[in-house]
Amino acid sequence: MNTSLQHNAISIIGSQMDLGAFRKGVDMGPLAIRHAGLIQKMRDIGFAVKDCGDIVPMVATSEGSPKMRYEKEINDANERLFEKVLSIYEDDSFPVILGGDHSIAAGSVSATAEHYGKIGIIWIDAHGDFNDELISPSGNMHGMPLSAVCGCGPDSMVSFTEARVDPHNTVIIGARALDPLEIEKLKEKGVKIFSINDVHTAGIKEILNEAIAIATDGTEGIHLSFDMDALDPDNAPGVGTPVLNGLTNREGFMICEALFNSGKLLAIDVVETNPLLDNRNTTGKLAAELILTCIGLTDY
């Protein structure tokens, strides 16, 4: 086992959240990723692994406000996830968080920021997730968590903590489906965006060098939040919001390899795996292999 990961113990926590999006099924994502053999493979490469189970949202009886659909249920689940991830850090363990839709990152990233103080974020996603209740065209809260953890609203998504992440230490890689007002907001707040065109023009290696430098500038390390829809749907068919022209599998693995080798990885989220839309758990298996690469599993 490569010792670049600063923990010998890993704790897995899932969140069965599918209220942040229109299409259902991502609540089964944690099960699909575990079913791919994640825990045993972690143990095979030398880690002590604890499975902390899943956060299950409250039963929703109403969508609530159309500007923030299922706000109460999502925020309650995220507060519970926040507390659970904090307890993982207190146990001197490395958290691996399995989604669920991307709204769960409001809880998990906030816990990393609460524990470490100043952190950076690398957000692998076809989308920006930097909307808020004022500019979101859908009211879907899986499109808002990055904005929330950076202190740019909605405030209610992170009301359980005062910890925030500086947008100038925040990087999005693989973006290709950003909303117009969201683009303006991202640029105004100083988030660095590497679009899929940037990846294909400059190459993923050069982009990763810059992304890691930005996310580690004056910080304690990096929280990686990996949305499986960043990958091309030919490779990751089981996602709720697929977007053509995505990252290749090799680019996805290079991202995880580089973050492991940086020695600065503090936590991992992997979200938006949807078994209902998948082909023989292709996306769940790929998600598991990406996580394993983040903690040091290589083919050499």
Give the pLDDT score at 7: 76
Does the pLDDT of residue 299 top 70, yes or no?
A: no
Residues with catalytic roles: 102, 125, 127, 129, 142, 227, 229, 272
List, in order of start, the domains of the chain with CATH numbers: 9-294 (3.40.800.10)
Q: Which residue has 């996306």 as its token pair?
A: 283
Over residues 256-267, the pLDDT tens digits come to 999 999 999 999
Give the pLDDT score at 1: 36
Closest CA to 134 of 122, 143, 121: 143
Q: Which residue has 């909307």 as its token pair?
A: 131
Give the pLDDT score at 195: 98
Over residues 41-68, the pLDDT tens digits come to 999 999 999 999 999 999 998 999 999 9
How far apart, in Å, do the first and last CA atoms of the chain sit? Answer: 12
Residues in CB range of 241: below 8 A, 6 or more apart? 21, 23, 126, 127, 177, 229, 272
Summarize the confidence of residues 109-128 as an average pLDDT.
Answer: 98
Over residues 11-44, the pLDDT tens digits come to 999 999 999 999 999 999 999 999 999 999 999 9
Give the pLDDT score at 216: 98
Q: How confident is the model at residue 300 (pLDDT cuts 50, 70, 90)?
A: very low
Name the CA dihedral angle for 108, 111, 116, 120, rounded to a multiple of 10 degrees. Answer: 40
Does the pLDDT of residue 150 top 90, yes or no?
A: yes
Summarize the confidence of residues 276-295 as an average pLDDT.
Answer: 98
Q: What is the pTM of this model?
A: 0.97
